[in-house]
Amino acid sequence: MKVAILAPVCWRTPPRHYGPWEQVASNIAEGLVEGGVEVTLFATGDSITKGKLEHICRHPYEEDKSLDPKVWECLHIGHMMEQAGKFDLIHNNYDFLPLTYSRLIKTPMVTTIHGFSSPKIIPVFKQYNDTCYYVSISNADRSPELNYIATVYNGIKTGDFTFGETKGDYLLFFGRIHHDKGTFEAIRIAKKSGRKLIIAGIIQDKEYFRQKVEPYINNSDIVFAGQAGPEKRNKLLGGAYALLHPVNFAEPFGLSVVESMLCGTPVVAFNKGSMPELIVPEKTGFLVDNVEEAVQVLPEIGKIERSYCRQWSESRFSLEKMVDGYLKVYERILNK
């Protein structure tokens, strides 16, 4: 089987720091290669893969501001589509734009929908309901207007995450600094509970950071650690008392939630989107509705077995389980 994996060119695949879509695309590609599938990864030129790498965009446009995102997105997607006939199947991890090529090529295309940036993009997916195959990354993140072939949870390389047997004494916010992710709510939870909070992630919304986050950073009880690569990430996640995930939107999936549990650290999350599919209440964390409820459950974190957090995450969200799910999807498509 020859499969083309189309990754974004926003960040490197896999990303150096942030880049969830690139990370999942990388995990799919490398998992398929390990399973004996002939994989060609279409990504930035500095990307890393055990398969064949194809590129037209040498560097990620988020790291090279001289690049116009729309120009290089179009060139990147076109570069892959011009070679569509070489493959048995195309796996699109680049949102809705590649769908517009689907009736111009004979190769079947499966699209993992990594979330809807806006309801305004749904008409594009709807237009190609009869041409493409859609996979959701959680049951919560499904549009009733679309046809889905499966739900396949994101899978990660469990061996890359170190289990921390002993809980730490700080709370952790790990993700992009943005209202959607609830950075300010995490600060409020920490302040009300009297616990130290470490904030790690890219500043996606600079004005939000300036108004809602920066005034509270004091390097004492509220600490900003910046971006976190693999080594720093493991240390932060594994050493935390709990991960705070007070999202303000219906999050389609939460990689940091799964990663935290792999490190043995329970999660306190707002009960939105996919969170009930990721967290087992009172066993791997708590689902709450507001800041006050989050503060109330924090003393109960100490009763959770960190080893069970690891076990749960490994059993549900491993790279191997994800790849197996996609292979079943591929077989269904190709058998048609």
326: its two tokens: 């996609």
DSSP state letter for 99: G
pLDDT at 17: 82
Q: Decide: 17 and 228 in contact? Cβ < 8 Å.
A: yes
92: its two tokens: 């699109």
CATH, range 2-155+318-335: 3.40.50.2000
pLDDT at 165: 87
CATH, range 158-316: 3.40.50.2000
pTM, two decimals, is 0.92
pLDDT at 21: 93
pLDDT at 170: 98
Three-state DSSP class for residue 105: coil
d(CA 251, CA 253): 6
The DSSP result for 117-184, as a single string, is S-GGGHHHHHHTTTTSEEEESSTTS--TTS-EEEE----B-GGGS---SS--SEEEEES-BSGGGTHH
Identical topology for domains 2-155+318-335 and 158-316: yes
Q: Decide: 110 and 329 in contact? Cβ < 8 Å.
A: yes
322: its two tokens: 């994800």
Q: Decide: 208 and 199 in contact? Cβ < 8 Å.
A: no
Q: Where are the domains of the chain?
A: 2-155+318-335, 158-316
d(CA 105, CA 3): 15
pLDDT at 336: 82
Three-state DSSP class for residue 115: coil
d(CA 74, CA 64): 17
- What CA dihedral angle connects 153, 262, 301 and 167, to 10 degrees? -170
Q: Residue 322: CB partners within 8 Å, gap ≥ 6?
A: 27, 28, 31, 152, 153, 154, 155
- pLDDT tens-place values along the chain, 336 residues long: 999 999 999 999 999 888 899 999 999 999 999 999 999 999 999 999 999 999 999 999 999 999 999 999 999 999 999 999 999 999 999 999 999 999 999 999 999 999 998 899 999 999 999 999 999 999 999 999 999 999 999 999 999 999 988 889 999 999 999 999 999 999 999 999 999 999 999 999 999 999 999 999 998 999 999 988 778 889 999 999 999 999 999 999 999 999 999 999 999 999 999 999 999 999 999 999 999 999 999 999 999 999 999 999 999 999 999 999 999 999 999 998
d(CA 94, CA 101): 13
Q: Residue 40: CB partners within 8 Å, gap ≥ 6?
A: 2, 3, 4, 5, 51, 52, 53, 54, 86, 87
d(CA 64, CA 66): 5
